[in-house]
């Protein structure tokens, strides 16, 4: 099983959102943990909130997380300026597909942005939407083991 991300970027700040807009993207689906929020921190950096304010005027934006902790997701919902869903079960495409159909987006108008090839990028490939792989937002604080697992998972990427 191999996966292909359309773009590979350092982090969410390294993405050219104006270009996405010009390329016809209308819906951005963010992964939560390690993509837009430091793992288990339950809060956003100021820089992230500023980015949200900018891009929510340009796109429909939502967050699709596999996190099953209801309390945590509720907390995140309160501090996020767009919709947040937990228990999405990526790489199962069901929930995200339903969402895209509900809002009548074409697949080529949608991009999923996440840090995990085998969940975020794989689900994007399964549905046929665009995908951007980013490195962990808290990569500098991650343990050697976590970094090692990340490198292993990237072996499934086709460049």
Quote the least distance from Cβ 124 to Mg ion, whole Å.
13
Which structure tokens are listed for 35? 């993509």
Tell me the per-residue interface mask from 95 to 124 with Mg ion, x by CB under 5 A, - otherwise: --------------------x---------
Closer residue to Mg ion, CB minimum distance, 35 or 138 = 35
The DSSP code for 58 is: T
Looking at the DSSP bridge assignments, the partners of residue 114 are 133
Taking the C-alpha atoms of residue 139 and residue 137, their distance in angstroms, rounded to an integer, is 6
Separation CA 51–CA 45 (nearest Å): 10
Cα angle value 49/134/137 (rounded, 5°): 50
For 115-151, letters b (16+ CB in 10 Å) and e give: bbbebbbbbbbebebbbbbbbbbbeeebeeeeeeebe
Asked if 11 touches Mg ion (CB under 5 A), the answer is no
Q: Which one, 11 or 33, has the nearer CB to Mg ion?
A: 33
In whole angstroms, what is the distance from residue 125 CA to residue 70 CA?
27
Nearer to Mg ion, 45 or 106 (CB): 45
Tell me whether residue 21 or residue 87 sits nearer to Mg ion (CB atom): 87
> Does 33 contact Mg ion by CB under 5 A?
yes
Residue window 42-81: x/- pattern of binding to Mg ion, with contact defined by CB under 5 A: ----------------------------------------
Near Mg ion by CB under 5 A: residue from 11, 31, 109, 135: 31
135 part of the interface to Mg ion, by CB under 5 A = no
Q: How far is the CB of 35 from Mg ion (least distance, A)?
A: 5
Chain residues that interact with Mg ion, rule: CB under 5 A: 31, 33-35, 115
């Amino acid at each position: 099983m191999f996966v292909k991300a359309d773009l590979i970027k350092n982090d969410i700040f390294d993405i050219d959102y104006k270009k996405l807009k010009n390329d016809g993207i209308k819906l951005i689906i963010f992964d939560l943990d390690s993509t837009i929020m430091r793992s288990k921190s339950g809060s956003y950096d100021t820089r992230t909130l500023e980015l949200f304010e900018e891009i929510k005027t340009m796109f429909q934006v939502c967050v699709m997380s596999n996190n099953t902790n209801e309390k945590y997701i509720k907390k995140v919902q309160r501090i996020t300026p767009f919709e947040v869903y937990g228990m999405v079960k990526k790489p199962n495409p069901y929930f995200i597909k339903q969402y895209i159909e509900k809002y009548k987006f074409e697949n080529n108008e949608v991009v999923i942005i996440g840090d995990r090839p085998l969940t975020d990028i794989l689900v994007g490939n399964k549905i046929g939407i665009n995908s951007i792989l980013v490195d962990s937002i808290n990569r500098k604080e991650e343990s050697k083991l976590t970094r090692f697992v990340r490198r292993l998972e990237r072996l499934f990427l086709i460049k």
